[in-house]
Every structure is written in C-alpha cells, then in structure tokens.
Amino acid sequence: MDINNLINKDHAGNRLAFFGAVTASVTHELNNVMSIINELIGVIDDMVYATNDNVVIDPVRLKRLHERLSVQENRGESIIKRMNKFAHTTDDELCEFVVTDILINLVELSKRFADLKKVELSIIVDEIIPDDKMKVVSNPFDFQLIVFLSIAYLLELSSEGSEISVLTIFENDLPGVLIKGSEINIEKIDPKIEESLLKISESLNSVLSIDTKNANELIFRIYIKNINN
C-alpha cells in the first residue's frame, strides 16, 4: 500500500482509493478463509471415500476438522460483518454516529495492512469518556478516510516489530482519535505527505495535528467537528 497512491488525487479520487484499498484487503482475507475451508473439506472428502475400502472414520479427527471449519466460518462471518458496516458508512453524507464504534471497526479492517508490515496495530478505548461525548453529526466515511491515511503513513514510517496505537480522545469539546507510531524511521518522514494530510483533514471537517514526542515517535491527533456547530 503506497500512501502516495491514496492521497495524490482530488477528494473523490481519495475516497475511491480508500474504499478500493479496504475492499481489496478484505477480499484477500476472505480468499484465505475459503482456501482453508476448501482444504479441510478436501481432507473430509478423503476420509469419506476411504470408507469404501472399509476404513473406519476416526471420530476424534473428524471432530477436530469440524472445529477448524467452525473457526474459519466464524472468521469469515466476522470479516463480512466488518466490511458491511464499513460499506454502509457511505450511505449518508451527513449522519449522527459514535466515533468509538467507527474507529474499532476501521482498526480491525486495517490490521491486515499492519500484519503485512509486521507492525502491531491496536486500539485503546478510553472508558472514562461518556458515549454521548463521542457522538457527532458529520460524514463518517470522510472521518475514516483521514484516520486511515494517517495509519497508512505511519505504517510506511514504522520499523518491523514496532507498534501503532489508536486511542479515543475527547479534548477541547471535540471527540477524536490519537494515533501514535513508535520506532519510526525518521529518514522516511515526508513533509509533502504531511502537508497533504493536513489539507485533506481541513477539507473533511476535521482538525489534524502532527507532533513528535521524541526522535522516533510520531503522534497524530484528529478531532472531528460537529457539523451543527
């Protein structure tokens, strides 16, 4: 995933590139699930056909195969539910949503990108913040876009084995997210990309700030404005 391919477009192009990247990742995941299921079905078929030669099916082995199939079925169902929830955020240009719910789903959808880079991506929900404080009337898809682009940029800067953490925040009467990348490669920092991210954020009814806590840590803060304000 090249961050430049995601940001060097107009607004419609950025949105389409984002949706395409997530969709492609999800279909890859589903293909992996189907491959494992097909492999397990093949083993069961072999066991069934072996009974023609008076071979007795081992019930313990069959049970284990069934359990593995169930795991993959649940995994596939979870992937589809996440994608379905994500896709429906394009339904309305403006609606009320809970920032925390959107972030949890997006982080789960983004984990495959992190896994490919061998980077740990996690989300921490601040339970102290009341749910009503994390509600906002805005465009949920556009909010996810700037969060995803920030994560994608940090992934390009991150070293293998490093961590990116996503934390829900409520500051200055605005709900938002703090995204922190640790053990980043400072030589890869690109001011042009950061400038593009700031411009995209401004156009999407959100406020983005980029800070460095120390030499190898980069922090993004993204606040989303209530469109009614």
Confidence (pLDDT) at 213: 59
| CB of 222 closer than 8 Å to CB of 146 | yes
Confidence (pLDDT) at 10: 78
How far, in Å, CA of 30 to CA of 108, rounded?
14
Confidence (pLDDT) at 19: 93
Per residue of the chain (229 residues), what is the pLDDT tens digit? 666 667 767 778 888 989 999 999 999 999 999 999 999 998 888 888 777 777 777 788 888 888 999 999 999 999 999 999 999 999 988 899 999 999 999 999 999 999 999 999 999 999 899 988 999 999 999 999 999 999 999 999 888 889 999 999 998 889 999 999 888 887 788 888 888 888 888 877 788 888 765 668 888 999 988 876 5
Confidence (pLDDT) at 13: 85
Confidence (pLDDT) at 214: 65
How far, in Å, CA of 26 to CA of 167, rounded?
23
Kind and range of the H or E run holding 41 = helix 11-50
Q: Which domains does the chain have, with CATH numbers?
A: 93-224 (3.30.565.10)
Q: How far is CA 208 from the centre of its chain?
A: 19
Q: How many CA atoms lie within 13 Å of 30's alpha carbon, on the beta-carbon side? A: 15
The strand ranges marked E within the chain are 95-98, 120-124, 135-138, 163-171, 174-182, 206-214, 217-224
How far, in Å, CA of 3 to CA of 7, rounded?
6
